[in-house]
Structure 1
Amino acid sequence: MILSMGTLWEWALLISLLILAAYFLGTWGHDHFSKRNIPSLKPVPFLGNNSPIIFRQRSFPDFILDVYNGIKGHKYGGFYDFLKPVIVLRDPELIKMVTVKDFEHFLDHRALFTEEIEPLFGKGLFSLQGHKWKHMRSTLSPAFTSSKMKNMFMLVSECGVQLVDFLHQLGNIIEIEMKDLVTRYTNDVIATTALGIACDSLKNPQNEFYIMGKELTTMGAIAQMKFIGYSLSPKLMKTLNIKLISDKMSNFFRSLILDTMKIREDKGIVRSDMIHLLMQARKGTLQNEENGAADGPAIKINSMKLKKTYAQGKKLKWEDDDIIAQALLFYFAGFETVSTLMCFVSNQLAVYPDVQTRLQQEIDQTLQENDGKITYEAVHSMKYLDMVLSETLRIHSPAVMTDRKCVKTYNLPTEPAYTLHPGDIVWIPVHGLHRDPEFFPDPDKFDPERFSEENKDKIKPFTYLPFGSGPRNCIGNRFALMETKIALVHILSHFNFLVVSRTPIPIQITKKGINLTVDGGFWIGLEERVQNH
């Protein structure tokens, strides 16, 4: 069929109009910052500034560093998260104001998953908002005090013993992929400290608890696409009934936790683990056994105003999913964050044998002073161990960025002037701050001395934020550090970390997903020490 010239023109006009409409739709709001003379990154239609992540051109840490450096010379700048304008803070004083001083204006995180869409994530402490978050945080804070950590120490240490025994069975010199090894350790730690379950995932690698945990924490391409979908249109994702957690996984964890609680209630079983603490919290019997909460800033939320609010009948009733959600969040953070930190620190110690030797000397001396026993007090007395972990968290922080959502109109106290309205999002580029030579000279160098007693006070406040900042910081940071320290003390008192042919040097974070890992794996050599304890 031969189209007339008039018909061709009509089709051309229609296609042109559709292209023009798509362009305007895809760039809607992308002049938000330019109209206000706010420095910003140049967006592309629909994707905003996310294209390096969407097309896997940059790893997530490098992406955040690019965003941070893209507005260099300014205290803050603009970023487009798809079509949504976001403020990115570079100035430590602004970060202090948003996360601490004027926290009541920035009470929430941006929550992609609400209680209605994904209850096991939406009811978790990280996703809760407003008064619900305040109530849950103040309720859970006593569960993460040092006294509670001390009660769980031996449970974690038993997993450390189990880990070393497994390694000894493999030979005097072995080559091992650390991510696989330490996720099995962290899985067993969470199983015993949260649920009172003995898994031994090293001897039984295909146990269901580990397999489910691996599936839960692996954020591959499909999970990434779901995140993108929820970022663009949560309502559409809800309508399509697309969930982040499969029904199979939800039912597994729900049944496991509910069955554990029922058995304990029926038989009067008391165990110093997370489920027991959550059961106490639901009954209102969880007590803070020391002066101060789990972390300094969190105590700010226990205000008279908050107490008055719940005294007026607004106190939240704990449902089963509230407990399951907190336990699941505890599992997610403990499984993935600690295993990631362990991979990075083992790599650094292998690459820097002088640092490893000094750390082993501290471990040996401490064990000798404690008759060879690994105790809570002994582990927490090791200053150089703190320095090594702090520097590892600076270079390879598992949380490369964090955010806050404005809940009350707020004027940024700087030039150029900018007003944030309820619902607006603020990004805090943690990885950018940690790699800024202005705050950390020679930032790519692994140097634990930055955190020595003589030097750590020189670090500018609010430039080192591995666990976030203010009342919304990570409630479980003490547990994560304790879990990591115990594993390192057990391993390094018996083994040396070695560089092998497959050890990633330098570390190049994968561009294939959200998880902080390397293509090919974290391969490390382990050599039995001649003298061990």
Structure 2
Amino acid sequence: MRGIFTITDVCIFAVTVAICAYVYLWIQLKTFSRRGIVALPAYPVVGSLGPVIFRKISFSEQVGNLYKLLKGHRFGGLFEFLKPVLMLRDPELIKLITVKDFDHFVDRHKPITEECDDMFGKSVFGLEGARWRHMRATLSPAFTGSKMRRMFEWVNQCGRTLASFLSRRCYEHEAKTGKMLVVEMKDLWGRYANDVIATAGFGVQVDSLRDPDNEMLANVKTLSDFGGVQAFIFIGYLISHKLMKLLHVPLMPFKVKAFVRDLVEQAITMREREDVARPDVIHLLMRRRASDASASASAGVRPGPKGAAPPPPPPSYDRKPREEAPGLNNEDIAAQVMVFFLAGFETTSTLLSFMSNRLAVLPGIQERLRREVDATLQRHGGRVTYEAVHEMKYLDMVISETLRMYPPVEVLDRKCVRRYVIPASATDPEVVLEPGDAVWVPIYGLHHDPAHWPDPDAFDPERFSDENKANITPFTFLPFGSGPRNCIGLRFAIMEVKVAVMYLLAHFELRVVERTPIDLHLSTNTFNITVDGGFWLGIEPRRRPAPAPA
């Protein structure tokens, strides 16, 4: 008997394992067809995302393609790599799962837990069950109408700074070259968004327009980049979060997390020392932390150090109100700050980039919007006010149409936490979802469905006019999600976008230049919705007087 294996033995063993794995994966891919559910195209390992992984099309377009293949059905089955997912197509079914029967789908389908990434897993995006409910309830007061009004002046100051910065840049560039200023808009809007979220959201003063190399902006850009190496890490988590945990590969870069922790520690220390109170996210979280510490002391529980992580709750899918979440600490606060920087930066800069591109390419829409800006400012004495921002109906329409065509989030995901039955219909069988099963709501597909949006590839703000809004099928326009777990900061995001557009159009005209993408082709190099080559536009001061920034 031989004591060692030959190369032939090793090869035979490897081939056998590969064949067995391949057969297993093919059997796995029959999960939906065995249950009579329409199965979308999928392949071993890459599942239904093969064209995205091999950079043939963008993630957004693949979502749209999968959605189209389900025409005539309420749902169908796909594979997110190795994970079976039920894609919902019927608006009524989406309403049931995201709103009416939300208690069955409280959590997101996500592979990133606290054990995998200690910061992301503690964020309002990553938390589950009672801990998510408590955190959501804590953060919600930061985005009420009264808080928005109080935070408006900080946002408005960023808008004034933007107008002043561009005016000086246009003058200096024209004096030096005799030509119109050309700007990459995603970079410009990223700097603006970073300053807004830092100033209004967390009381941190930065000037990214004049200092594009500041540490905060560099870290936020790293945080929001889902291309390159970060894309492979993200894919790794989707394929096997257990393997990524075993390899100790964090979803978020260590450097970024260290920066956010230091930022939060400094802000909290300063506010406690100087007794500063601002109507922002950090203030609410500090109050919650103090309340939790007081409650623990009253109950005779000895509090741990400020930065210590709370004990994890026992695993359970029970979502009854009697559940209690563990006390808040500085690490929890840092997690919320991180996810707000991520969402506030990428969502806002993406929306403004696509919107400014369409305004330049479609000058008729730009001019109509400019007339509304001028008329609104005239009624308010030339000042951008909270009331003025909320009066602009056509601006609302243009924003909505941009979000329809280019939603920053292409898919809404949910995880079943309690057994749920989808009744049979004329086209689809009964489906029983068990705890842990995942569902997708294909936002990009819904937004480009000609059954709901005639001529969906045309940019037409009139879809959202007062006369036409009544014709929109409910739950087919979901740019910020749906139900209790929708985007918590949507009102803040829309406010900062409106302020930016009002200052921009009051003082400048957007022009198409040689590098301007006309027919937008979505990038295949990242999971973010964007275009290759950048959003280049010309910015020219208006030739007739405009209301001065006030």
Does TM, normalized by the shorter one, top 0.5? yes
1:86-235 equivalent positions in 2, closer than 5 A: 86-171=85-170, 173-235=180-242
Q: Is the 1:140–1:281 contact (alpha carbons within 8 Å) kept by the matching residues of 2?
A: no
Counterpart position of 1:472: 485
Bigger mean CA deviation after superposition, 153-162 or 244-253? 244-253
Instruction: Kindly indicate whether residue 351 of structure 2 is the aligned counterpart of residue 341 of structure 1.
Output: yes
Return 5+ residue gaps in structure 1 as ranges.
Answer: 1-6, 286-304
**Structure 1 residue 335: deviation in Å?**
0.7
The Cα offsets for residues 133-192 of structure 1, whole Å up to 9 and x where unpaired, read as 111112211111111111111101111111111111122631110011110111111111
Instruction: Kindly indicate whether residue 490 of structure 2 is the aligned counterpart of residue 491 of structure 1.
Output: no
Query: Measured at CA, do residues 18 and 117 of structure 1 come closer, stay the same or move farther in structure 2, by a change above 3 Å?
Result: closer
Q: Is the 2:138–2:284 contact (alpha carbons within 8 Å) kept by the matching residues of 1?
A: no
Bigger mean CA deviation after superposition, 415-424 or 426-435? 415-424
Structure 2 counterpart SS, 1:80: strand
Give 1:187's aligned amino acid.
Answer: N
**Structure 1 residue 198: deviation in Å?**
1.9
**Structure 1 residue 507: deviation in Å?**
0.8
**Structure 1 residue 275: deviation in Å?**
1.8
Counterpart position of 2:312: none
Query: Measured at CA, do residues 187 and 18 of structure 1 come closer, stay the same or move farther in structure 2, by a change above 3 Å?
Result: same
Q: Distance in 2 between matches of 1:334 and 1:525?
A: 25
Query: Measured at CA, do residues 239 and 11 of structure 1 come closer, stay the same or move farther in structure 2, by a change above 3 Å?
Result: closer
Q: Distance in 2 between matches of 1:122 and 1:485?
A: 32
Q: Is the 1:110–1:127 contact (alpha carbons within 8 Å) kept by the matching residues of 2?
A: no
Bigger mean CA deviation after superposition, 382-391 or 19-28? 19-28
Structure 2 counterpart SS, 1:532: coil
The Cα offsets for residues 445-468 of structure 1, whole Å up to 9 and x where unpaired, read as 111111011110110100000011
**Structure 1 residue 104: deviation in Å?**
0.7
Counterpart position of 2:360: 350
Q: Is the 2:170–2:539 contact (alpha carbons within 8 Å) kept by the matching residues of 1?
A: no
**Structure 1 residue 13: deviation in Å?**
5.8
Bigger mean CA deviation after superposition, 444-453 or 194-203? 194-203
Instruction: Kindly indicate whether residue 467 of structure 2 is the aligned counterpart of residue 460 of structure 1.
Output: no
Counterpart position of 1:409: 419
1:353-372 equivalent positions in 2, closer than 5 A: 353-372=363-382
Structure 1 counterpart SS, 2:439: strand
Q: Distance in 1 between matches of 2:363 and 2:276?
A: 46
What is the TM-score of this pair, normalised by structure 1? Answer: 0.91
**Structure 1 residue 357: deviation in Å?**
0.9
Instruction: Kindly indicate whether residue 92 of structure 2 is the aligned counterpart of residue 78 of structure 1.
Output: no
Q: Is the 2:415–2:439 contact (alpha carbons within 8 Å) kept by the matching residues of 1?
A: yes
The Cα offsets for residues 300-358 of structure 1, whole Å up to 9 and x where unpaired, read as xxxxx989515xxx243111111111111111111110000000100111111111111
Give aligned-pair identity as a percent.
Answer: 49
**Structure 1 residue 14: deviation in Å?**
4.9
What is the TM-score of this pair, normalised by structure 2? Answer: 0.89
**Structure 1 residue 11: deviation in Å?**
8.2
Give 2:223's aligned amino acid.
Answer: L
Q: Distance in 2 between matches of 1:323 and 1:15?
A: 48
Counterpart position of 1:249: 256
Structure 2 counterpart SS, 1:27: helix
The Cα offsets for residues 2-39 of structure 1, whole Å up to 9 and x where unpaired, read as xxxxx999788656534421312433411101111111
Counterpart position of 1:377: 387
The Cα offsets for residues 226-246 of structure 1, whole Å up to 9 and x where unpaired, read as 112112221221121101222
**Structure 1 residue 42: deviation in Å?**
2.4
Q: Is the 1:367–1:373 contact (alpha carbons within 8 Å) kept by the matching residues of 2?
A: yes
Q: Distance in 2 between matches of 1:141 and 1:426?
A: 26
Structure 1 counterpart SS, 2:107: coil
Counterpart position of 1:288: none
Counting matched residue pairs gives 505
**Structure 1 residue 88: deviation in Å?**
0.3
Structure 2 counterpart SS, 1:444: coil
Query: Measured at CA, do residues 531 and 36 of structure 1 come closer, stay the same or move farther in structure 2, by a change above 3 Å?
Result: same
1:6-45 equivalent positions in 2, closer than 5 A: 14=13, 16-45=15-44
Counterpart position of 2:545: 531
Return 5+ residue gaps in structure 2 as ranges.
Answer: 1-5, 172-179, 293-317
Query: Measured at CA, do residues 315 and 50 of structure 1 come closer, stay the same or move farther in structure 2, by a change above 3 Å?
Result: closer
Structure 2 counterpart SS, 1:436: coil
Give 1:454's aligned amino acid.
Answer: E
Query: Measured at CA, do residues 337 and 8 of structure 1 come closer, stay the same or move farther in structure 2, by a change above 3 Å?
Result: closer
**Structure 1 residue 220: deviation in Å?**
1.4
